[in-house]
Amino acid sequence: MLSRSLLSRSLARNAKRASGTLSQARRTFVQPSAVDKANIVGTPASVDDSLFTPRQDMLGFKLEAVKSTEKNRPIYLDMQATTPMDPRVLAAMMPYFTDMYGNPHSRTHAYGWEAEQAVDDARAQVAKLIGADAKDIVFTSGATESNNMIVKGVARFHKEKKKHVITTQTEHKCVLDSCRKLSEEGFDITYLPVQSNGVIDLAELEAAIRPGETSLVSIMMVNNETGVIQPIEEIGAMLRKYRGVYFHTDAAQAVGKIPINVDEMNIDLLSISGHKVYGPKGVGAAYVRRRPRVRLEPILSGGGQERGLRSGTLPTPLIVGLGEACSIALREMDADHARVKALSDRLIKGVTARVEHVVRNGDVNGYPGCVNLSFSYVEGESLLMALKEIALSSGSACTSASLEPSYVLRALGAAEDMAHSSLRFGIGRFTTEAEIDFVIERIVGTVSKLRDMSPLWEMVQEGIDLSTINWSQH
């Protein structure tokens, strides 16, 4: 309120000043001025910029020209890239950012003890969310570090006897790249394909196992681009038959969103990220089973903290935040899930009822908070450009800088043009109905406008059969 009234006051002042000194500079269409003057004098402050700047719906203009300092912020629908931090998490962290600054590894004074206590409490909170023992949790800087530590660590520890690792084609880049590094070191990696719904074939996985040679199977729980949920419990049960094959799952997108129990699912290693569970960025955790013991070669050498697996002073405030985020997630998982599901259904129904030729990518029984839709005859990038009022991503955040179609969608067998025309809608705890309705309106309007400009769409309207793509799963 305060800022708004200040703003309008200063605008009024500007306008007064402008009308005094610049009124001659103001041109109208019926009063052409000399060219030299027009070049020197810009637009006076009193003139509404939006008269000159192309609006977002003026497609065909250079859309980058739209000012980024717009009056209002876009709504956020990119929960797979990161989630906003729950304000209750920040409240829990603040004491450790201010007065309680002790090093949790200091054993000789109260500053250290209180920090250690906070870390222990957080460890228990994280463990509880995944049904683990608190002693099995190792704090890291995020899921990228956890994945690196686990994939490289387990493989390298067993490298004398076992040189085979299995993963899937749709893993996050940090798992795929860790595997690429391993293959440079002489390991043999199997990248399992997925079926067209994004789920792996259990029989295919079992056939890929080389008893006595395979040390690790790494399969993500929830995919970050499509929301596809892998049958982790079935995989875990099947892998139990093969002794010495450890089972890792990257649960960065699953923790706090779907129920996880490392014992029931027979998971040996698991990766957690703080900023995907409404916690802080720069912190995460790895679950490393102690009974039966899973051994891995640490990447960091140093003071031997975290069972020697991850040396370095623990960031107490971040860890407290991760713990609090996990505790809230456990308490509110059912309510959150029901709500996210309702919003997701509302979005899918709202869009498919009014836009033709929309394909949902990935298994329909995936995590509802990740809705990946392809709009035929529309470029995903132009769609994103035109939807400046919505913070969205096409493909995953890390690959969206490049114009290559998503490797995840390609692995699902999506045609290149469909992979190009996909958008990912991430719905979360703080998303509202009003936001979903806003998105539906914008999507419907923008897609039809873009299609009206597309020659392909014109041909489709004339009944020309362009291809034999299976248009819809609905």
Partner 1 sequence: MASPTRAQVLSLYGNLLRASNSFYSYNFREYFVRNTRQRFRAHQSEADSARIKALYEDGLRELNVIRQAAAMNRLYAGPRLVVEKSGTPPSPYEGGKAGEGGGDAS
Ligand X SMILES: Cc1ncc(COP(=O)(O)O)c(C=O)c1O
Q: Residue numbers of the site for ligand X (CB under 6 A)?
A: 142-144, 172, 174, 220, 224, 250, 252-253, 273, 284
Distance of CA 228 to the CA centre of its chain: 13
Is the CB of 27 or the CB of 388 nearer to partner 1? 388
Picking from 143, 144, 184, 220, the residue whose alpha carbon sits closest to that of residue 411 is 220
Q: What one-character-per-residue DSSP string does 174-237 give? A: HHHHHHHHHHHTT-EEEEE---TTSPPPHHHHHHH--TTTEEEEE--SB-TTT-PBP-HHHHHH
Task: Identify what 446 binds: ligand X, partner 1, none; CB under 5 to 8 Å per kind.
Answer: none
Task: Identify what 172 binds: partner 1, ligand X, none; CB under 5 to 8 Å per kind.
Answer: ligand X
Question: Shortest distance, CB of residue 250 to ligand X, whole angstroms?
Answer: 5
How far, in Å, CA of 368 to CA of 66, rounded?
33
Map the footprint of partner 1 across residues 159-188, applying CB under 8 A.
none
Among the listed residues 44, 76, 265, 296, the single contact to partner 1 using CB under 8 A: 76
Among the listed residues 39, 72, 467, 470, the single contact to partner 1 using CB under 8 A: 72
Q: Residue 348 phi/psi, 5° resolution?
A: -65, -45
As beta bridge partners, residue 59 has 61
Is the CB of 72 or the CB of 470 nearer to partner 1? 72
Picking from 326, 330, 307, 310, the residue whose alpha carbon sits closest to that of residue 318 is 326
Is the CB of 77 or the CB of 272 nearer to partner 1? 77
Map the footprint of partner 1 across residues 378-417, applying CB under 8 A.
389
Task: Identify what 389 binds: partner 1, ligand X, none; CB under 5 to 8 Å per kind.
Answer: partner 1
Q: How large is the greatest C-alpha to C-alpha distance in the chain, in angstroms?
A: 86
How far, in Å, CA of 70 to CA of 56, rounded?
11
Q: Determine if 429 is a binding residue for partner 1 (CB under 8 A).
A: yes
Is the CB of 164 or the CB of 172 nearer to ligand X? 172
Is 370 annotated as catalytic? no
Picking from 435, 370, 418, the residue whose alpha carbon sits closest to that of residue 396 is 370
Task: Identify what 84 binds: ligand X, partner 1, none; CB under 5 to 8 Å per kind.
Answer: partner 1
Q: Which entry of 174, 179, 326, 398 is annotated as an active-site residue?
A: 398
Q: Determine if 49 is a binding residue for partner 1 (CB under 8 A).
A: no
Among the listed residues 9, 19, 50, 74, the single contact to partner 1 using CB under 8 A: 74
How far, in Å, CA of 175 to CA of 218, rounded?
8
Is the CB of 25 or the CB of 385 nearer to partner 1? 385
Q: Determine if 356 is a binding residue for partner 1 (CB under 8 A).
A: no
Is the CB of 210 or the CB of 388 nearer to partner 1? 388
Q: Closest residue (Cβ) to ligand X?
A: 142
Q: Which two tokens stand for residue 270?
A: 């698991």
Q: Which two tokens stand for residue 438?
A: 């806003």
Considering Cα of 8, then 14, then 19, then 20, what sign does the dihedral take? Answer: positive
Q: Determine if 75 is a binding residue for partner 1 (CB under 8 A).
A: yes
Structural contact between residues 283 and 252, judged by C-beta atoms closer than 8 angstroms: no
Q: Determine if 3 is a binding residue for partner 1 (CB under 8 A).
A: yes
How far, in Å, CA of 66 to CA of 55, rounded?
7
Cα angle: 65, vertex 70, 72; to 5 degrees: 145
Task: Identify what 293 binds: ligand X, partner 1, none; CB under 5 to 8 Å per kind.
Answer: none
Task: Identify what 432 binds: ligand X, partner 1, none; CB under 5 to 8 Å per kind.
Answer: partner 1
Among the listed residues 84, 212, 304, 308, the single contact to partner 1 using CB under 8 A: 84
Task: Identify what 226 binds: partner 1, ligand X, none; CB under 5 to 8 Å per kind.
Answer: none
15: enclosing H helix or E strand: helix 2-21
Q: Considering only 89-97, 222-230, 402-410, 412-420, which stretch makes contact with partner 1 by CB under 8 A?
A: 89-97
Q: Determine if 338 is a binding residue for partner 1 (CB under 8 A).
A: no
Q: Determine if 97 is a binding residue for partner 1 (CB under 8 A).
A: no
Is the CB of 133 or the CB of 389 nearer to partner 1? 389
Q: Which two tokens stand for residue 279?
A: 């916690």
How far, in Å, CA of 178 to CA of 81, rounded?
20
Is the CB of 84 or the CB of 193 nearer to partner 1? 84
Structural contact between residues 154 and 248, judged by C-beta atoms closer than 8 angstroms: yes
Task: Identify what 90 binds: partner 1, ligand X, none; CB under 5 to 8 Å per kind.
Answer: partner 1
Considering Cα of 26, then 29, then 32, then 37, what sign does the dihedral take? Answer: positive
The residues annotated as belonging to the active site are 398
Which residues contact partner 1 (rule: CB under 8 A)? 1-3, 71-76, 84, 87-88, 90-92, 94, 335, 389, 429-432, 434-435, 438
